[in-house]
Amino acid sequence: MLEIKNLQVKLEDEDKEILKGVDLTVEPGRVHAIMGPNGSGKSTLSYVLAGREGYTVTGGTVELDGHDLLDMEPEERAAAGLFLAFQYPVEIPGVGNMTFLRTALNAQRKAHGLEEMSAGEFLKLVRAKAKTLKIDAEMLKRPVNVGFSGGEKKRNEILQMAVLEPTMCILDETDSGLDVDAMRLVADGVNALRDAGRGFVVITHYQRLLDHIKPDVVHIMADGRIVKTGGPELALEVEKNGYAGILAEVA
């Protein structure tokens, strides 16, 4: 369970407050969507949760399954079960996708006191997961995200998620840059991972991703706060009336 209480964050380099008291609780098995206009702090929230440098937490707490997340290094957060699917997955030339996946998986296994997975076992695991995401052997061999199309990059993020099996997944604008078919493929991959033990935070501008990944709860974020929370119908309202109407209503 992810519990964010009154989280306040500013940029390290300038005295600018980005998050002004975010409260959010995501239970296992539930999908929470966070929608909001540009600059509302959605991506900052995802980065702060994953532990990216450049931000200063000035107040509040974040706990993942009772552990203080803010006190951990990014790799420790990952080992604790957190996963961030990047809006812009990073290209790493010269490092094979398989090498990267295996290094990540074995690092997490090591953190959990488990033996490293053998090469054969790992290959079997990845092949099975890759198949459902329509990721072929060629794509697995290539350097991480290098020369991948937008859709391939996002599918690769979901593959990592499938292999690492986190308990709390944050998807940061996973729909950006995807055509309808690619979005469906990604959504199918995410839906396949939905189970009672895993929570999701799906960050998006648009309602269309939520047609494919059906949320249990929808939050509207604006100016560093969650200003409105509701059911899936809230996303439809955004689609129909835009953010302006909702923001005027809560102001």
Partner 1 sequence: MAAPMRKDEGRAAATEARIAALDLPKGGFSGAARADALARFRAMGLPGRRDEYWKYTDPAPLNAVAAPDAAVFAADEAPIFGAVDRLTLVFVDGVFDADASDDPALAGVEITRLAEAARSDIHWAQELYGVLEARGQSPVARPFAALNTAAATDGVLIRVSGAAAKPVHLVYRHGAPTSDAILHHCVKVEPGAELTLLESGPAAARFNKVLEVDIAEGGRFHHVRAQGRDHERRAITHVFARVAEGALFKSFTLTANGEMTRNECVIEIAGDDAVAHVAGAALGDGRTRKFHHDDTVFVTHDAVGGESRQVFKKVLKNGATGVFQGKILVKPGAQKTDGYQISQALLLDEDSQFLAKPELEIYADDVQCSHGSTTGAIDETALFYLRSRGVPREEATALLILSFLADAIAEIEDERLAADIVARLEAWLARRKR
Residues that bind partner 1 (CB under 8 A): 50-53, 73-75, 77-79, 83-84, 86, 89-90, 92-95, 99-100, 103-105, 107-108, 111, 143, 160, 164
Q: What are phi and psi of 41, to 5 degrees?
A: 110, 10
Between 4 and 82, CB nearer to partner 1 = 82
Q: Which phi and psi angles does 92 have, rounded to 5°? A: -125, 90
| Residue (93 or 242) nearer to partner 1, CB | 93
Least CB distance to partner 1 at residue 100 (A) = 7
Which residue, 44 or 160, has its beta carbon nearer to partner 1? 160
CB of 84 to partner 1, least distance (A): 5
CB of 75 or CB of 136, closer to partner 1: 75
Amino acid at position 81, single letter: G
Q: Output 101 or 222, the one with its CB closest to partner 1.
A: 101
Structure tokens at 187: 């959504």
